[in-house]
Amino acid sequence: MKSEIPKQFISVSGIPIIVRTIQKIIGIDIFDRVIIAIHSDWNDELLYLINKYKFDKSKIIIVNGGVERIDSIYNAVNHINSSYGIFESDIILIHDAVRPFITKKIIYDSIEALQLHDAVVASLPVVDTMLWVENAPFVSSMPIRSKLFHGQAPDSFRLQVLYNALFNLTSNEKKIITGTAQICMLKGIEIFTICGDPINIKITTPFDIKLAEYFCSLEVNNESLCS
């Protein structure tokens, strides 16, 4: 029996979120392969959608997702290494299936930054006052806002660097990882930031779905909302 429907399979304005994300990634047409890590219970549904929306199946590879994000990344990177090998010029962009409004600019900026840096993450400056609440509900401190950024996706890497960092993590390090770039940070690899975009939202709540539907009503197509 299938688990509760994953958020990426929820439809926004009649099209599943994951389909919208794949359309954006494949539509940019600069990637050799698009690897999708997914729970095996939803493999058939994904294959159905790939056929329904007539994606180029020669460019899409499906691998088993893991219990945690890091397990899915491990499976994807391991597939690349075992199937093709990993070479010095290889790069990888790791994106969230529930961020269907990724822009061309973010992708091209990420790839350009990888010419000079080993690891790159899209981010946006924080605009709200941030509160550090160590002993809820009381405020412990207020971090300096100008030094805080919202992390977005993709997380982008020179593939050899990510592979070496990923396969040299200790068991304790694996337990504390919540984001892909953290894999490299734990190994002392500097993370370079590029400017993300307000439209590049992660759809996780009912409000996010309403916002995504609004974006779709504007017929936004790989266009930035930044001024």
Q: What is the pLDDT of residues 77-125, one digit of tens each?
A: 999 999 999 999 999 999 999 999 999 999 999 999 999 999 999 999 9
With a pLDDT cut of 70, the percent of the chain lying above it is 95
Examine the pLDDT at 1 and tell me if it is beyond 60: no
Contact 122, 62 (CB under 8 A): no
Residue 67's pLDDT band, with cuts at 50, 70 and 90, is confident
Mean pLDDT for 60-87 is 94
Exposed, middle or buried by CB within 10 Å (0-12, 13-18, 19+), for 132? Answer: exposed
Examine the pLDDT at 177 and tell me if it is beyond 90: no
- The span from the CA of 152 to the CA of 225, in Å, is 15
* Backbone φ and ψ of 47, nearest 5°: -60, -40
Pairwise pLDDT comparison (21 vs 220), residue with the higher score = 21
Residue 102's SS3 state is coil
| DSSP letter, residue 5 | P
Mean pLDDT for 170-193 is 91
What are the DSSP calls for 183-215, one per residue? HHHTTT--EEEEE--TT-----SHHHHHHHHHH
For the entire predicted model, the pTM comes to 0.91
- The span from the CA of 169 to the CA of 173, in Å, is 6
